[in-house]
Amino acid sequence: MCVNNIIFHIDVNSAFLSWEAVYRMAHKGGRQDLREIPSAVGGDMAMRHGIILAKSIPAKKYGIQTGETILEAQRKCPNLVLVPPNYSLYEKCSAAFMDILREYSDIVEQYSIDEAFVDMTASCRLFGEPVEVAEQIKDRIKEELGFTVNIGVSGNKLLAKMASDFKKPDMVHTLYPEEIQSKMWPLPVSELLFVGRATAKKLFDVGIKTIGELATADPAWLKSILKKQGEVIWGFANGIDLSPVLDQPPANKGYGNSTTTPYDVTDAETADRVLLALAETVGNRLREDNVRIEVVSVGIKYKDLSYVSHQKVLQTATNLTWEIYQAARELFLERWNYGPIRHLGIHTSRVISGDFYRQPTLFDEIDYDKLEKLDKTVDSLRKRYGMDSVMRASFIKQPIDHMSGGISREKRTVDYDRITIE
């Protein structure tokens, strides 16, 4: 019987790899299931995006980890089957996955491209007991979409998410408050949500190795060691989480894009071109959401992977591409040490939403009204005819993508005609 809150956390098993495996077998005549062999989705080393994005369960047995380089993964498993990322496919699979969830509840919070929280409190009586409904959803996704999910069932988001991380794949697990001591407390403290490596090390150093030991520790003592975070994770260890499932995502507190350059950038002209390309995509996103920003920051990652950033507050809020670029260029020149650059980013904050009127001054040297009309026209043309329909002359016959940042172009689609599918 449904009582109190019923929250599901649904997580696709090895999402990118599963979606690729299903697509190859269902649409490209593939006979080999990538999920059953040591395999991984990895970026293009030639484009300097050579990291593991997703791995199969057999690959995990070799110690392969998401985020490590392809070279590191291949050393662990020389026979690892690597496939390129295809975000266009992932977005379609994610949308189909979310559509099924919304048939069961009006309150679905998409937590990431491959996981979601579903508030079943009001609707579980329509479909049956919570575990029965979870099994039904899991089986429907497998039968209709071809991939598997894990579902965690509990009374709040924290416990539901912890439950979905129990034994995989294709499983339903409960973690109700009365099950915390038996199911969650014996786990290593590093498996608790929001306990990262640094925090886990601090806890290990003071003798706390399990979630149960954290839950029964003195919260005041934990606060003295970890400050505010000590109180928060003590609450999590005891299953305390009051955050609601949000069917509408919260407003962005900032907008940004970054890109790894195809080669080390050693001159200001090329860096300028990269910053302009990033300003194009950031400005487009701001205008699409009808917001403006008051703070611009630039991040620089050098060849040796050291990182610096620099920011400034603008005199007037803006969403104009040229204005964002000029601010970013100024910040870059103030902070760049002339070392070779492998990654650049533009980030913004202090977001202002809604209609906005720029107060002109006697000292304006730029026709901002004209720039605004130009940006809107370019946005409209790109939306209708494609992102490459309008391009600034400075990008013609240049290796820098004129719309850089976010999901890189080579990760958006895959030319399967050029790939051998077994």
As annotated, the active-site residues are: 115
Best CA proximity match to 44, nearest among 402, 343, 305, 411: 411
CA–CA separation, 180 and 235 (whole Å):
12
C-alpha dihedral (34, 38, 42, 48), degrees to nearest 10? -150
For the stretch 151-156, contacts whose Cβ atoms lie closer than 8 Å and that sit 24 or more positions apart, written own/partner, are 151/8, 151/9, 151/10, 151/11, 152/8, 152/9, 152/11, 153/6, 153/7, 153/8, 154/7, 154/9, 155/4, 155/5, 155/6, 155/7, 156/5, 156/7, 156/239, 156/241, 156/242, 156/243
DSSP 266: -
The side-by-side arrangement of strands in the sheet containing 7-12 is 108-112, 115-119, 7-12, 149-154, 172-174
| Cα atoms in the 13 Å half-sphere on the side-chain side of 189 | 27
Q: Note the Cα 297 to chain centre separation in Å.
A: 20
C-alpha dihedral (397, 403, 407, 409), degrees to nearest 10? -30
Q: Are strands 307-318 and 291-302 parallel, antiparallel or unpaired?
A: antiparallel
Instruction: Tell me how far CA of residue 413 lies from CA of 107, 286, 410, in angstroms.
Output: 31, 25, 6
C-alpha dihedral (159, 165, 168, 169), degrees to nearest 10? 80
